[in-house]
Amino acid sequence: MSIPRAVFDSVMVPNYAPSAIIPVRGAGARWFDQAGRDYIDFAGGIAVNTLGHAHPALVAALTEQAGKLWHVSNVLTNEPALKLAQKLVANTFAERVFFCNSGAEANEAAFKLARRMGNLKDPNKNRIVACINGFHGRTLFTVSVGGQPKYAQTFEPLPGNITHVPFNDIAALEAAMGPDVCAFVVEPIQGESGVMPSEKAFLLRARELTTQHDALLIFDEVQTGNGRTGHLYAYQHFGVVPDVLSTAKGLGGGFPIGAMLTTEALAQTLQPGTHGSTYGGNPLGCAVAGAVLDELLKPELQANVHARHLQLVAGLEALQAEFGLWQSVRGLGLLMGAVLVPGQSAGPLVNAALEAGVSLLQAGPEVLRFAPPLTITEAEMAEGLVRLRQALEALREGG
Catalytic residues: 135, 220, 249
Residue 340 pairs with which residues in a beta bridge?
326
For residues 274 and 344, the answer to whether their CB atoms sit within 8 Å is no
CB contact set of 228 (below 8 Å; sequence gap of 6+): 47, 50, 234, 250, 305, 332, 333, 334, 335, 371, 374
Beta pairing, strands 127-131 & 162-165 = parallel
Dihedral sign computed on CA atoms, order 167, 173, 176, 181: positive
Half-sphere exposure of 382 toward its Cβ, with a 13 Å CA cutoff? 4
185 in Cβ contact with 147 (< 8 Å): no
For residue 359, the SS3 value is strand
Contacting residues for 30 by C-beta, under 8 A, at least 6 apart: 38, 39, 40, 41, 53, 380
The three-state secondary structure class of 101 is coil
Scanning the chain, the segments in alpha helix (DSSP H) are: 6-11, 44-47, 56-66, 79-91, 103-121, 140-145, 170-176, 200-212, 234-238, 264-267, 283-296, 299-323, 346-355, 378-397
- The answer to whether residues 127 and 182 touch, using CB atoms and an 8 Å cutoff, is yes
